[in-house]
Structure 1
Amino acid sequence: MGDTITVTGNIASDPERRVTASGIVIASFRLASRQRRFDRSANAWVDGDTNWYSVSAFRALGEHAYASLRRGDRVVVVGRLRLREWETATKKGWSAEIDADSLGHDLLWGTTTFQRDESARAPRPAASAEQTPAPVVEPVATVRPETADLSDRWSAPLVPSGAPAIDADEIPF
Structure 2
Amino acid sequence: MNDTYVTLIGNVASEVRSATTVAGVPMARFRLAVSPRRFDRETGQWSAREPSFYSVVAWRRLAEHTLSSVEKGDPVVIAGRLSVRDWLRDEKWHTSVEVEAVSLGHDLSRGTSRFTRATRRESDADHIPGPSDGSGSPEPRAA
Equivalenced residue count is 123
What TM-score, normalized by structure 1, do the two folds share?
A: 0.67
Instruction: Report the CA distance between 1:6 and its aligned residue.
Output: 0.2
Q: Could you say which residue in structure 2 is the equivalent of 1:112?
A: 113
Q: CA deviation at 1:117?
A: 1.1
Greater RCO structure (CA 8 Å; 6+ sep): 2
Q: Which runs of 5+ in 1 are unaligned?
A: 123-173
Cα distance between partner residues in 1 of 2:116 and 2:103? 16
Alignment-derived partner of residue 21 in structure 1:
22
1:88 deviates by 2.3
The structure richer in strand per residue is: 2
Distance 1:13 1:90 in 2: 29
- Letter aligned with residue 94 of structure 1: T
CA RMSD of superposed structures (Å): 1.9
Question: What residue identity is the alignment partner of 2:29?
Answer: S
Partner residue in 1 for 2:46: 45
Gaps of 5+ in 2: 124-143
Specify the alignment match of 2:36 in structure 1: 35
Instruction: Quote the offset at 1:51 in angstroms.
Output: 1.1
Q: Distance in 2 between matches of 1:22 and 1:41?
A: 57
Counterpart in 1 of 2:8?
Answer: 7
Classify the secondary structure of the residue corresponding to 1:118.
coil
CA distance 1:121–1:72, change in 2 (3 Å): farther
Corresponding residue for residue 72 of structure 1? 73
Shift of 1:119: 4.1
Question: 1:91-110 alignment to 2 at 5 Å?
Answer: 91-110=92-111
